[in-house]
């Protein structure tokens, strides 16, 4: 069995923030957990600035460049506290100390002396907006909120805050808060479910820009006129969503990413008018080792942009990755363009590959397979309607194609969480590890996934929940049709909501699976909703169904009540501090299988939560999973 450690040692650099004089702050997991680092220039030796055993969650320079704000939890419990680091002295001050509460970063005031944050100090189910004077430590409650809210940023004048309330994965509302009076104005009245994401004040604070599907099935860049509350589309992604956005209000500079079947296109430019943009495409994954045609950035990138952040000097920092590139930070200079009009992109952080050759990593193939239902709206009659196509990424071990008849390859069906998430062609070293162990990896974006429009994302809501599990069964049917696949060696594998999908798949379709691996999955919808964090319950009920109105449905689709159907070995991983899916979900399913003498192995970390944040724990869990699969598959 190949050692998994080198694959997990591939490092990542994320959360870029540029200072006024061009320095870069970012997070890196080179020590095993993400910590704050700074560097003065591209590929220069960076300086580590924090040294915790626990992960750091974000980092942001102050407007004057003298300080860096960051957040950190304890035991991966997601109860972030806020800290400020003095860049010159290295001294760190913890500015919030309420371990019973979550503190969500809201940004530096334009003058650099005040910060904003949202916290559930008053009531664990509801977040309020606070501002703090950094010099005195004085905290002011500006506005009481309801549910899970986030502070999205300050107006250019520093007199107002922009706040987002997430009612569900597909439904948001935006509010403008006057920091002096506390007056709170709702700026997104709407019917039905509408997303309003990455909101930002525009130049002079006269309008708010954000990504929204208010005018389309897919997300677009829109402008909300703060006088009339009219919402006008500024930039459409066409058939695809605009899924990333940054605006520098002072200059009108703008950056956008478009999600094209999972791959990113990145554009940078300016607001040409209140509802017009002028942008050019960015080559965000420049190849240093070969010459290529920079007139076609989209053809050469082949990856995903994860984050965008303008610096005060107008340059854009972004994080990107691809199957052969671990998450790296690039800096784009919109003012420096080549003969094709493409802005100059510089590779600033190139994290260690950890002892593996990334050039040998395999790139997934995007396919679509037919599922059980049709898409009537695309045909002239219901009888002629085509089967719905489910997008998926499939990767076979090097040198093998699905059509090969002289091989017999086991397959891991890897189901993403969310469910409003999307498997994309980003860097996933564990995928390559399984490929090198001889497995094929199949990664479907079943109904309910994001990236394909509002209608597709809603196809698994409440009473339609199990339709997404039928999509998984259809995926296995597709695999059975591939000559290279060993139909008697197929593994269900998934994390979080994907963990529920694993449990649902092995209870609804037990004959399809040889073994299963689930991380932090939901076994019982009722106990999950009863015990999940107070701030999450209503948000989750909006999509999954409520304890009051849908209890019978929730009981019916809970895998724990069909556990007698499971006849394949199951590996379960969980964190004891998980605030989202409490560890009792893992214990319920493990106890039930042990009582039936079905092989079950549990891996529960006392110092982890919903995510396994520490390198040594990640190594242990995947070493055990590899041994488990070697034994049973």
Interatomic CA distance for residues 242 and 237, integer angstroms: 5
Delimit the domains of the chain by residue range: 364-426+453-632
**What local confidence, expressed as pLDDT, does residue 289 receive?**
46
Measured in whole angstroms, how far is the alpha carbon of residue 123 from the centre of its chain?
27
- List pLDDT tens digits, range 23-58: 999 999 999 999 999 999 998 999 999 999 999 999
- List pLDDT tens digits, range 409-429: 999 999 999 888 999 999 999
**What local confidence, expressed as pLDDT, does residue 282 receive?**
92
Interatomic CA distance for residues 606 and 232, integer angstroms: 49
**What local confidence, expressed as pLDDT, does residue 292 receive?**
40
Single pTM value for the model = 0.93
pLDDT bin (cut points 50, 70, 90) of residue 542 is confident
- List pLDDT tens digits, range 455-509: 999 999 888 999 999 999 999 999 999 999 999 999 999 999 999 999 999 999 9
- List pLDDT tens digits, range 108-140: 999 999 999 999 999 988 999 999 999 999 999
Position 315 pLDDT exceeds 50:
yes
pLDDT bin (cut points 50, 70, 90) of residue 381 is low
Position 17 pLDDT exceeds 80:
yes
CATH of domain 364-426+453-632: 3.40.50.1820
**What local confidence, expressed as pLDDT, does residue 511 receive?**
97
Q: What is the mean pLDDT of residues 256-266?
A: 95
Give the residue, 290 or 603, on which the prediction is more confident.
603
429-449: b (≥16 Cβ within 10 Å) or e? bbbbbbbbbebbbbbbbbbbb
- % of the chain surpassing 70 pLDDT: 97
Position 549 pLDDT exceeds 50:
yes
**What local confidence, expressed as pLDDT, does residue 290 receive?**
38
Tokens read off for 396: 């076979």
Position 14 pLDDT exceeds 50:
yes
**What local confidence, expressed as pLDDT, does residue 540 receive?**
81
Backbone phi, psi, residue 95, to 5° = -100, -10
pLDDT bin (cut points 50, 70, 90) of residue 81 is very high
Interatomic CA distance for residues 4 and 628, integer angstroms: 14
pLDDT bin (cut points 50, 70, 90) of residue 535 is confident
Q: What is the mean pLDDT of residues 301-306?
A: 88
Q: What is the mean pLDDT of residues 153-182?
A: 93
- % of the chain surpassing 90 pLDDT: 81
Position 510 pLDDT exceeds 90:
yes
Position 377 pLDDT exceeds 80:
no
Position 361 pLDDT exceeds 90:
yes
Position 297 pLDDT exceeds 70:
no
Segment (H or E) for 440: strand 440-444
Q: What is the mean pLDDT of residues 94-109?
A: 96
Segment (H or E) for 622: helix 615-632
**What local confidence, expressed as pLDDT, does residue 295 receive?**
38
pLDDT bin (cut points 50, 70, 90) of residue 288 is low
Position 384 pLDDT exceeds 90:
no
Position 291 pLDDT exceeds 60:
no
Backbone phi, psi, residue 240, to 5° = -110, 165
Interatomic CA distance for residues 292 and 193, integer angstroms: 44
Q: What is the mean pLDDT of residues 574-578?
A: 93
Calculated CA dihedral for residues 333, 257, 254, 316, nearest 10 degrees = -30
- Mean pLDDT estimate for the chain: 92
Calculated CA dihedral for residues 291, 297, 299, 302, nearest 10 degrees = 100
Q: What is the mean pLDDT of residues 274-278?
A: 93
């Amino acid at each position: 069995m190949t050692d998994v450690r080198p694959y997990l040692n591939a490092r990542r650099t994320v959360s870029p923030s540029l200072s006024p004089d061009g320095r870069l702050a970012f997070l890196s997991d080179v020590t095993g957990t993400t910590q704050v680092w700074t560097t003065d220039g591209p590929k220069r030796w960076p300086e580590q600035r924090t040294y915790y055993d626990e992960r750091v969650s974000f980092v942001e320079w102050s407007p004057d460049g003298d300080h860096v704000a960051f957040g950190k939890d304890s035991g991966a419990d997601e109860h972030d506290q806020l800290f400020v680091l003095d860049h010159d002295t290295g001294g760190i001050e913890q500015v919030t100390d309420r371990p019973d509460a979550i503190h969500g970063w809201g940004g530096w005031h334009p003058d650099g002396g005040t910060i904003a944050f949202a916290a559930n100090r008053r009531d664990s189910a509801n977040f309020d907006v606070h501002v703090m004077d950094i010099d005195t430590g004085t905290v002011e409650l500006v506005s009481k909120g309801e549910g899970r809210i986030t502070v999205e940023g300050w107006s250019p004048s520093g007199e107002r805050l922009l706040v987002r309330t997430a009612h569900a994965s597909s439904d948001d509302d935006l509010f403008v808060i006057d920091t002096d009076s506390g007056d709170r104005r709702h700026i997104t009245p709407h019917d039905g479910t509408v997303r309003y994401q990455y909101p930002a004040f525009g130049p002079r604070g006269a309008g708010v820009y954000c990504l929204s599907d208010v005018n389309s099935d897919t997300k677009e860049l829109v402008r909300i006129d703060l006088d009339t509350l009219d919402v006008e589309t500024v930039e459409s992604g066409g058939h695809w969503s605009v899924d990333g956005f940054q605006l520098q209000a002072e200059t009108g500079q703008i950056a956008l990413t478009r999600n094209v079947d999972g791959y990113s296109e990145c554009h940078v430019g300016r607001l040409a008018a209140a509802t017009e943009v002028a942008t050019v495409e960015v080559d965000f994954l420049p190849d240093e080792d070969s010459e290529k045609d920079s007139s076609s950035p989209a053809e050469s990138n082949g990856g995903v942009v994860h984050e965008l952040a303008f610096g005060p000097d107008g340059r854009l920092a972004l994080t990107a990755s691809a199957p052969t590139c671990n998450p790296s930070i690039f800096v784009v200079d919109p003012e420096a363009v080549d003969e094709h009009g493409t802005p100059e992109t510089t590779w600033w952080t190139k994290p260690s590959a950890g002892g593996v050759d990334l050039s040998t990593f395999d790139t997934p193939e995007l396919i679509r397979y037919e599922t059980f239902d049709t898409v009537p709206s695309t045909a002239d009659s219901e009888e002629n309607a085509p089967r719905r196509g489910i997008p998926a990424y499939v990767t076979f071990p090097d040198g093998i194609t699905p059509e090969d008849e002289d091989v017999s390859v086991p397959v891991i069906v890897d189901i993403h969480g969310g469910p409003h998430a999307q498997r994309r062609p980003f860097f996933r070293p564990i995928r390559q590890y399984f490929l090198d162990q001889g497995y094929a990896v199949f990664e479907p974006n079943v109904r309910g996934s994001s990236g394909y429009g509002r209608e597709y994302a809603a196809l698994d809501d409440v009473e339609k929940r199990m339709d997404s599990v039928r999509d998984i069964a259809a995926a296995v049917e597709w695999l059975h049709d591939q000559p290279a696949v060993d139909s008697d060696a197929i593994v269900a594998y998934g994390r979080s909501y994907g963990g529920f999908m694993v449990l649902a798949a092995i209870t609804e379709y037990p004959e399809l699976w040889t073994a299963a691996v689930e991380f932090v999955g939901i076994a019982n919808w009722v106990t999950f909703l009863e015990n999940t964090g107070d701030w999450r319950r209503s948000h989750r009920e909006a999509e999954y169904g409520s304890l009051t109105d849908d209890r019978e449905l929730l009981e019916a689709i809970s895998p724990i009540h069909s556990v007698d159907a499971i006849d394949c070995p199951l590996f379960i991983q969980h964190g004891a501090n998980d605030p989202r899916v409490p560890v009792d979900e893992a214990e319920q399913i493990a106890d039930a299988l042990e009582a039936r003498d079905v092989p079950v192995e549990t891996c529960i970390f006392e110092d982890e939560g919903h995510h396994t944040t520490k390198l040594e724990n990640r190594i242990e869990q995947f070493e055990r999973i590899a041994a488990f699969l070697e034994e049973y598959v």
